[in-house]
Amino acid sequence: MCPLTHCPKIHSSEPTVAVYPGTFDPITNGHLDIVERALNLFDRVIIAVAINVGKQPLFPLEERIRLIKECFGPDDDRVGVDATDGLIVDYAVSQRACAIVRGLRAVSDFDYEFQLALMNRKLAREVDTVFLMTGLRWIYISSSIIKDAAKHHGDISGLVPDHVRQALKKKYRTQTS
């Protein structure tokens, strides 16, 4: 049973959908941990790759989407991957999602995430925000730290899926040539 009061699972037989937004530049095993645990709460999770003009991603949007899709089997219809450039809460409403999933690594993440959740709640009361703590083994990693380690030829094995590690290796080899 879905723990959220606005979740359609409580009021109908519709599958529950959650949106997990981020830039995912690149996706890490910490992100995948959040997706796996979100699937214990919701029937479907849509990974919404945010187009953020304020950031200069290492990987172009299409490549980030491809790298994420490669993490899941082609028949895994419980996980969707999509791009969005507007308000995440509007995207969630358009997907008939009952929740936005946010991963937290540390207390320092909470203040900003809490503010976002309150604004999203103001904009669309029918969409809840669910905070999931990153698993302890992933608490110290972020996409930025992974990119920095990869850029300086650090061993990131086990922190990202192998195909992502290879893509980072190739990206930084290309940039230094």
- Residue in 6, 66, 105, 121 annotated catalytic: 105
Phi, psi of 113, deg, nearest 5: -65, -40
Distance in angstroms (rounded) separating the CA atoms of residues 119 and 131:
15
Task: Name the residue ranges covered by the structural domains of the chain.
Answer: 8-140
11, 55, 169, 170: the catalytic one is: 55
pLDDT at 111 over 50: yes
Out of 9, 102, 143, 165, the active site residue is: 143
Q: Which CATH class is domain 8-140?
A: alpha beta
- What local confidence, expressed as pLDDT, does residue 12 receive? 59
Q: Does the pLDDT value for residue 164 go beyond 90? A: yes
Give the confidence band of 4 by pLDDT, cuts at 50, 70, 90.
Answer: low
pLDDT at 30: 96
- Cα separation, 4 vs 125, in Å, equals 12
Angle, helices 143-151/162-176, rounded to nearest 10 degrees: 50
Does pLDDT of 43 surpass 90? yes
Does residue 2 have a pLDDT over 70? no
Instruction: Indicate whether 53 pLDDT > 80.
Output: no
Please tell me the predicted confidence (pLDDT) of residue 1: 43
**Each residue's pLDDT tens digit, 118-143:** 999 999 999 999 999 988 899 889 99
| Contact by Cβ (8 Å): 6, 14 | no
Separation CA 100–CA 79 (nearest Å): 14
Residue 7: what pLDDT? 55
Indicate if the pLDDT at residue 108 is higher than 80.
Answer: no
Full-model pTM: 0.89
pLDDT digits (tens, 9 = 90+) for 6-42: 554 445 578 999 999 999 999 999 999 999 999 999 9
Clarify whether 9 is annotated catalytic: no
171 carries an active-site annotation: no
Q: Which one of 9, 31, 102, 147 is the catalytic residue?
A: 31
What are the Cα distances from residue 168, in Å, to 48, 58, 64? 21, 9, 11
